[in-house]
Structure 1
Amino acid sequence: MTASGNDAAFPAARPRRLRRGPALRRLVAETRVLPRNLVLPMFVKEGITEPVAISSMPGQVQHTRDSLRKAAHEAAAAGVGGLMLFGIPAHKDERGSGADDPDGIVQAALRDLAAEVGDDLVVMADLCLCEYTSHGHCGPLETGGHVDNDLTLERYASVAAAQAEAGAAVVAPSGMMDGQVAAIRAGLDRAGFGQVPILAYAAKYASSFYGPFREAAEGAPQFGDRSGYQQDPANVREALREVALDVAEGADMVMVKPGLAYLDIVAKVAEASPVPVSAYQVSGEYAMIEAAAERGWIDRERAIVETLTSYRRAGAEQVLTYWATEAALLLR
């Protein structure tokens, strides 16, 4: 339709001109997700001979060392930027001894991955004790059942050195203990690993979205919960304070976890942080999209790319996502 006699009745500004066709939309897109922005979380379990399906996370498994290597090669071939490794030991105890055992499952798997894909992507190790303790909390307990913060710092420093010795390119403390970054930095430096960076889970919230992860990592608390050390979902300033403390203690990168319900936090952290910012698309987010897609309620592939774009738009330079390999192929 053309204007006749009254051009003012028609808009002079027409933003739709730049939305005509996928090629033009791609050309002018403000935010891009590239395969190298993605990090794939992976679980490796001691004592199994075949991968074990995770029922609450369709398509995800607890890996054997062999299947882990295969999946890592697939991620590297797709252009994924990194891997984040979680270990599930065959035996647990009060202090989480398996976490820094040189022959423990994570250290063995780190050696595998560093040797086979370490030149192609960044091999990271989650640094915590919840998968290794018999009680499921993130550090040794003091009288009364609370986590002993300062004793836990000693354990974290030891775990960091063991992971670095095994080949971790980055260690990622996730326990939300006060002073954990400083203790880990000092421990790494003492052990001769001054070049190993720390990706700090700086703003990790006590979230309902971790449910499927607890099946995947077999690390659910045997009593209570982790709200005594993870952040209250109501708090924003606390997240910025935690980030500032971690950076001051020597964090080379910081992370916000979870992501989708905390994109405001991601944006504020990205604006304030002098170091790179990561965000974790957690197990509950993955499970919700998979469940809705299985029922035909949403377009699965579009939802994956759209949510990853939202992370990048909020300011995350890296996104940890269980879809990393698949999304990398879609994006390419």
Structure 2
Amino acid sequence: MKTIRWFPLILALSATGLTAQTLTEVALPRYGINGNSTALRAPSAAWLTISGLQPNATYRYYVSGDTNVPTGTGAGNYFGINSVANNAGYIQGYTTQKGLGGSLLANDEFAMANRYSEFTTDASGSYSGWFALVPTGNNRFAVGNEVRFGLVFNDGAGGTSVAGNIYTTSTLLMLGPGTAEGANQATFLVGDSLGAPGETMVLLYDNVAGAGRPIWATWVEPDGIADVPSTLWHTNVTAGRWGAYVPNDLANGIRRVEYWDIGSLSLIAAVTDDDGVWTPIPEAPFLTANGDTRFNGGTTTLIGIIAPIPEPSAAALALLGLGVWGLRRKLVR
């Protein structure tokens, strides 16, 4: 199994009742995509661990990105992701407006009014899970900017105002859709897992070993939320597939794809390619790129690759539960 490298950040917060929090970057992507065009937006997911909170407390939060020092409430849209599935699965909804005094993001909704999400800490005051930011047209996400990924949260006791925020030390470089090299431009990539369950998290690397930070972090559709986060996404990222942007000057292309389970935070499987040229998805939008993840097509000539999820090992099945795996596989076929 892949060894995850942990990159801790300690920030002292001035909020009442809070001690210094630690944010650990378990899996933080290197890139995000500028959201000036609503039709071309895409999420950047991250696996983070926050510690130093109140034990066994339920916190309201939302996800933001910021370039300011000191950081504040930031900007950006987000997907709410739970660590325990309910009737909506793990991914609860997508919202363009955020507020701790609003309503809980739930039931696979696409919201355009104030929403927040929740997580519950353990007995030590820590929480580890997946989060997802969608950059917008806000100036913080201008092409070439380095954006810190963060959480804005309440007091853990039902409060409706901001009690604190915490951001990563590492940053996401903002790219723009386009075909040029050397200009922070990127091409949209669609991967076909050939049957991975919807809401399986995906990490993409430019090396077969999975060393360093991932290039992108995303998930397999369906997530149950219709028509989001963009036309480009919901048109091309269909059931069993995932979407990402790849920098046009990424010399190695994508050479490793990892599939992770949200609930158990465990690696299901990984698939690699030695030269970054994969078996292409045999459909019209992807034929020109021919599976080459170094192809510069922007959002007009897309890359489509087949990155099949292997059957999980016995150990993975023990973690995930064979019945759940079998049921969810049926849902995407």
Whether TM exceeds 0.5 here: the answer is no
TM-score by length of 1: 0.27
Higher strand share: 2
- Higher radius of gyration, 1 or 2: 1
